[in-house]
Amino acid sequence: MPLSPPFYKPIAKEIEVFEHTYKNKLPVLLKGPTGTGKTRFIEYMAHQLGKKLITISCHEETSSTDLIGRYIIKGAETIWIDGPLTKAVKEGAIIYLDEIAEARPDVIVAIHALTDHRRELFIDKLGETIKAHRDFMLVASFNPGYQKGFKELKPSTRQRFIAVSFQYPSPKIESEIIENETGVTEALARKLVNIANKIRNLTELGLTETVSTRLLVDAAKLIHSGLPKRLSVKVAVVEPLTDDEEIATALTDLCDLMI
Ligand code: ADP
């Protein structure tokens, strides 16, 4: 655990909400587009609360076995290894299931009894049910936009969580984040935020994802380390957003004018 807290700039009332969900050990769903500070937020909260954080980045192959545990063969023996969820349940850590909707459906089934009053984990391979440590907490993240209705979370699953929404911060806060993360001047941070907001409003481009705070932080880092501004914005903001040459050219022209 780092000695100094991770830098996190609050956007709304999320810290207060989280402190109360932690006190009540209610599961939390962090909703919002990629790069809006969900991961940084949970790292910050875990540090503030003095809790161990176990993060699992879910992807389409992530199964309940990956989370709960498995038998492995060691020499002549077969031994059971707890997965990260089982460890968190036993030790009383915070588990963060990043992009939970990406995981296989059996993951949702596995966490079911942990997300209600039972606070239990059923380990089917051992035929055991374990009670969660009183400090155990389940946190998941979900990106509603980019699932495009394909990998949605079922309403019955969503209703098991307290949901906290993450959006792009106000220009003032977003430029403070960029300054703090990278050491660039306020004037430059403001310019980057203006570019982001301009592109975020260009809904007609039909971009799957738009400019996140993460991309702005990356662009600012490149500029701060000496890469020319226009090139930095092109590679950190424009190119990650689109593979369409015409759109990329239009966005590059726009950014060149604004930086
Ligand atoms: P997400 O988990 O939502 O995809 P991250 O937490 O990884 O996003 O955020 C991406 C980056 O953006 C962080 O590494 C950090 O530099 C910056 N960031 C975004 N929001 C904040 C915030 N509120 N406070 C501090 N840094 C932030």
| Length of the chain measured in residues | 259
- Please say if the pLDDT value at position 97 is more than 60: yes
pLDDT at residue number 152: 81
Note the pLDDT tens digit of each residue in 119-148. Answer: 999 999 999 999 999 999 999 999 887 545
Give ipTM to 2 decimals.
0.98
Residue 3's Cβ-count burial label (10 Å; 0-12, 13-18, 19+) is: exposed
Q: Ligand 1: list residues with CB < 6 Å.
A: 7-9, 11, 34-40, 166, 177, 181, 213-214, 217
For range 162-171, the mean pLDDT:
95
Q: Whose CA is nearest to atom 25 of ligand 1?
A: 8
Q: Where are the domains of the chain?
A: 14-165, 171-258
Pick the CATH number of 14-165 from 3.40.630.10, 2.130.10.10, 3.40.50.300, 3.20.20.80: 3.40.50.300
Tell me the CA–centroid distance for residue 246 and ligand 1, in Å: 29
pLDDT at residue number 138: 98
Note the pLDDT tens digit of each residue in 50-79. Answer: 999 999 999 999 999 999 999 999 999 999
Q: Pick from 223, 229, 221: which is nearest to 252 by CA?
A: 229
Check: CB of residue 175 under 8 Å from CB of residue 189: yes
Look at residue 131 and give its three-state secondary structure: strand
Q: Whose CA is nearest to atom 27 of ligand 1?
A: 37
pLDDT at residue number 147: 45
- Of the listed ranges 101-110, 115-124, 204-213, 238-247, the one predicted with least confidence: 204-213
